[in-house]
């Protein structure tokens, strides 16, 4: 005899939520995720009247969860999608993006697609190979992350978006929290807080999935039947980064003590409310090379610095669509 869902009491339970101790059916689990996303957005005022929100969408489990939960909670006319093709051989991002476009279409959301190579002048693969030939100990993930963040921000500004929503989940946030602790990066820690923003920056970042576990986004995407990427990035098995090592450790902690990741992030949220608001007063610098906003300790931004180190001194920094599918009228 099957166990019934603890919430509705009428359908068979298929998902065990260790942090709550509930056994949920697929329908109640999906609704639980949507409700929690909306609660987090409303709790911290992530979305305000008149906002235009750029959704950063990779085509993975997290981004599909972000797309659907935001599209169901907010008007499609306020949402724009952006997907970035990194340019890594064997990583079939362009094929996967087409499925993402079709899914977004169903919610009336436009998707803009941009190649890293069109923006920088080099693909992520090109940057990684140049670093290797120069003997530079910088991972492909570093080039990828910094390039993607710049493209997302520039595209949000160009499209007139007031908010940039990324699909960072709870696991991602706790990993970053621990990294900032280990590095003694107080400003980085404060920037994790949902009330943190910089007045000089016209685009404010929001993370609607920050209290949703990674396993939950994976389960959500599976239940909803989304088409996910079927190939792994060729650089995934490179020497593990600090983040990768932390990720392994916190998985083990969560398994032994369900809810510990959620409690860690909640603690930081509650402790740093007043301090996070003060981040808005921090004066940012402008990169001497490209003019982009950068931290107070820098004269040139991290992307320009890395490109100089691989002897690429003429980046394009040009926004150019690969293709765009307009939502149905």
Strand partners, 83: 113
pLDDT of residue 253: 95
pLDDT of residue 198: 76
- Strand 110-115 to 79-85 pairing: parallel
pLDDT of residue 325: 43
- Strand 15-17 to 22-24 pairing: antiparallel
pLDDT of residue 93: 75
Which stretches of the chain drop beneath a pLDDT of 70?
1, 92, 200, 239-240, 280-281, 320-329
Q: How do residues 142-194 score in pLDDT, each as one tens digit?
A: 999 999 999 999 999 999 999 999 999 999 999 999 999 999 998 889 999 99
pLDDT of residue 320: 63
Identify the CATH homologous superfamily for domain 15-233+246-325.
Answer: HUPs (3.40.50.620)
pLDDT of residue 276: 86
Q: How do residues 261-304 score in pLDDT, each as one tens digit?
A: 999 999 999 999 988 887 766 778 999 999 998 988 899 999 99
**Rounded (10°) CA dihedral 212, 223, 38, 196:** 30
Does the pTM exceed 0.75?
Answer: yes
pLDDT of residue 297: 83
Determine whether 210 is exposed, middle or buried from the number of CB atoms within 10 Å of its CB (0-12, 13-18, 19+): buried
Domain residue ranges of the chain, discontinuous segments joined by +: 15-233+246-325
């Amino acid at each position: 005899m099957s166990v019934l869902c603890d919430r509705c009491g009428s359908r068979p339970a298929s998902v065990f939520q260790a942090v709550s101790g509930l056994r949920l059916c697929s329908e109640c689990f999906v609704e639980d995720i949507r409700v929690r996303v909306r609660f987090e957005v409303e709790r911290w005022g992530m979305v305000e009247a008149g906002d235009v929100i750029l959704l950063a969408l990779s085509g993975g489990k997290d981004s599909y969860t972000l797309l659907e939960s935001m599209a169901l909670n907010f008007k499609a006319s306020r949402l724009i999608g952006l997907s970035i093709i990194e340019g890594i051989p064997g990583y079939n991002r362009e094929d996967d993006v087409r499925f993402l476009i079709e899914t977004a279409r169903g919610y009336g959301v436009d998707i803009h697609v941009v190649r890293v190579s069109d923006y920088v002048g080099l693909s992520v693969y090109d940057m990684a190979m140049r670093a290797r030939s120069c003997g530079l100990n910088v991972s492909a993930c570093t080039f990828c992350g910094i390039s993607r963040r710049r493209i997302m921000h520039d595209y949000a500004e160009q499209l007139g978006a007031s908010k940039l929503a990324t699909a960072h989940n709870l696991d991602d946030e706790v990993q970053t929290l621990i990294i900032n602790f280990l590095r003694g990066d107080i400003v980085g820690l404060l920037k994790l807080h949902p009330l943190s923003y910089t007045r000089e920056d016209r685009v404010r970042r929001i993370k609607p999935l920050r209290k949703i576990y990674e396993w939950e986004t994976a389960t959500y995407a599976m239940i909803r039947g989304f088409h996910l990427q079927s190939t792994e990035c060729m650089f995934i098995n490179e020497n593990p980064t600090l983040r990768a090592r932390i990720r392994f450790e916190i998985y083990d902690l969560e398994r032994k003590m369900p809810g510990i990741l959620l409690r860690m992030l909640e603690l930081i949220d509650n402790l740093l409310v007043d301090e996070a608001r003060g981040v808005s007063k921090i004066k940012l610098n402008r990169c001497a090379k490209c003019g982009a906003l950068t931290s107070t300790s820098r004269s040139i931004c991290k992307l320009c610095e890395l490109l100089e180190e691989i002897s690429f001194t003429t980046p394009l920094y040009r926004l150019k669509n690969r293709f765009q599918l307009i939502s149905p009228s």
